[in-house]
A = this chain, B = another copy of it.
Amino acid sequence: MARYQAILAYDGSGFQGSQRQANIRTVQGEFEKALGTLNWSAHAVILSGRTDSGVHATGQVVAFDLEWAHSADALLHALNANLPHDLAVRSLSLASEDFHPRFDAVSRKYRYRLFGDAIRDPLREKFLWRVHPPVDGNALSQNAGVFLGTHDFAAFGSPTTPKGTTTRTVTESEWKQMPDGEWRYEVRADAFLYRMVRRLVFAQVSLAQGRLSAADIQRALAKQGKFPTGMAPAQGLTLVEVMYGSKDPI
């Protein structure tokens, strides 16, 4: 028996989130089904963190214990042959036997994609949020830095454990302009609160549409003001990377 680590990619549209739940199609559930075809007998796989219903991933990390007589590469291909079309293993390797994708992670990075358009656009709206009225891209770019550093993000999400801390450290927060009117937000932190990225995006879009001021956001970060609730839709969000420092470079 050995522990393996794998990077998973999925189109979140067809999953009700990542965590296994009875009688519901989830990433963990489908992954464990594929492992089951390889005589996997452990109790559960471990994910780096939860993604909500409809949220995508290109860099979700999972660990599992398996008796496997062949190469890691052969295991990757065996899993991909048994996984559904919207979920795949992108890379796979042996891990140390105490590797834990959630506890050992030192940072997570998410990407959020949006574009401005008054009219529905089915192909783009599969993976991007259509925003109207259009956003002021300069406002997005100039204000994103306000989240950098260590703050109490209680106004922007819920703790991941009951009564857990709502303090997080954001080390990257940047908007990039892409072709065809797309704006792409990349944000990295040690960890995120539930729904935090979607709330950060919603607040920034509200600002860039003139419905909120930079001072409103600063007050919310300082816990000195109430914050208008709102959350950007799931389909624009992708978990792109989980980092493990020197311990378990995956």
Q: Please list the residues of chain A having a beta carbon within 8 angstroms of any beta carbon in chain B.
A: 9-11, 56, 58, 76, 80, 83, 85-91, 119-123, 125-127, 238
A sample of 12 inter-chain contacts (CB < 8 A) reads: A9-B123, A10-B122, A56-B123, A58-B123, A80-B120, A85-B122, A85-B125, A88-B121, A88-B122, A90-B121, A123-B127, A126-B126
Please name all residues of chain B whose beta carbon is closer than 8 Å to the beta carbon of A10 when the two chains form the complex: 122-123
Q: Which residue of B lies closest to A79 (CB)?
A: B120
Q: Can you add 5 more A-B contacts, CB < 8 Å, to A85-B122, A88-B121, A123-B127?
A: A9-B120, A85-B120, A85-B125, A88-B122, A126-B127
A10 CA to B11 CA, complexed, in Å: 18
A83 CA to B120 CA, complexed, in Å: 10
Please name all residues of chain B whose beta carbon is closer than 8 Å to the beta carbon of A121 when the two chains form the complex: 9, 88, 90
Distance in Å: Cβ of A241 to nearest Cβ of chain B? 14
**Are B80's CB and A122's CB within 8 A?**
no
**Are B80's CB and A123's CB within 8 A?**
no
A88 CA to B58 CA, complexed, in Å: 28
A85-B125, A125-B85, A126-B126 known; A119-B80 Cβ under 8 A: yes
Q: Which residue of B lies closest to A10 (CB)?
A: B122
Please name all residues of chain B whose beta carbon is closer than 8 Å to the beta carbon of A85 when the two chains form the complex: 120, 122, 125
Please name all residues of chain B whose beta carbon is closer than 8 Å to the beta carbon of A11 when the two chains form the complex: 122-123, 126
A130 CA to B161 CA, complexed, in Å: 40
Please name all residues of chain B whose beta carbon is closer than 8 Å to the beta carbon of A80 when the two chains form the complex: 119-120
